[in-house]
Amino acid sequence: MQQILLNEYTDFLCKKKSVNSKNLGAGKVQAPLEVTTSEEFDLKDKETLIIQPVNTGSVTYKNPKKQSVSVIDYEKYINSLPDSVQNGLKRCDFLVYSEDSDVFVLNELSQSKNVFDKESHAIHQLADTLALLLECNETKSKILNYGEKYCIFSNRYKKIESPDGVADAFGAVYDLIGTLETAKPEDIPAISALGFVYYRSSTIELNDTLSFYI
């Protein structure tokens, strides 16, 4: 997937903006990729490293079977394109995929006290990113090979910082509730029409069947 983004997809985006991709400087366009078999890991946007320690990011991926999971920083990829190409393009944060579990995920992240403040914006980011990826023949062919396809908005509440930890209990209660509540799919026409399922989930378990939790 990384090479398709760097080559065919970059050519596709450049042509849409009447830019000659051959004029892009060598190594200027980047699509940072990390692969992990960790049993549990987090993702957090705008970090140097993609894979983050558990409980430090906006979403946790549980991977009990230690399957190979690839993560591309899609936002950094788009941001590395010339301004004339990236201008006006929506960009979700990460592409997460695994041949082992036959899954492909577009993941948009946030850390907000009120999920509803960010969800509408996140849905637009996900839907527009997906539509663009499926407009390019090469990325479309790759993505549609996966059996399970999801757009996921992950919003993890940032604990309230308080003197002497007075408010820590409130954050702990939220965390406990969050790990126990099963997320339900939502019908977002702009996403479901493209063959993807939308979830709002901050914990994703990659197993024989995927499980989503708020």
Q: What is the pLDDT of residues 15-41, one digit of tens each?
A: 999 999 998 977 899 999 999 999 999
φ, ψ of residue 70 to 5 degrees: the values are: -105, 140
Q: What is the pLDDT of residue 85?
A: 97
Specify whether the CB–CB gap between 155 and 178 falls below 8 A: no
Q: What is the pLDDT of residue 8?
A: 98
pTM: 0.89
Segments of the chain with pLDDT less than 70: 115, 158-180
What is the distance between the alpha carbons of residues 96 and 109, in angstroms, rounded to a whole number? Answer: 13
Q: What is the pLDDT of residue 112?
A: 79
Looking at the DSSP bridge assignments, the partners of residue 96 are: 71, 105
Handedness of CA 57, 211, 118, 84 (dihedral sign): positive
Q: What is the pLDDT of residue 26?
A: 78
Q: What is the pLDDT of residue 111?
A: 85
The residue among 106, 104, 98 whose CA lies nearest residue 63 is 98
Handedness of CA 135, 2, 18, 90 (dihedral sign): positive
Handedness of CA 35, 99, 183, 209 (dihedral sign): negative
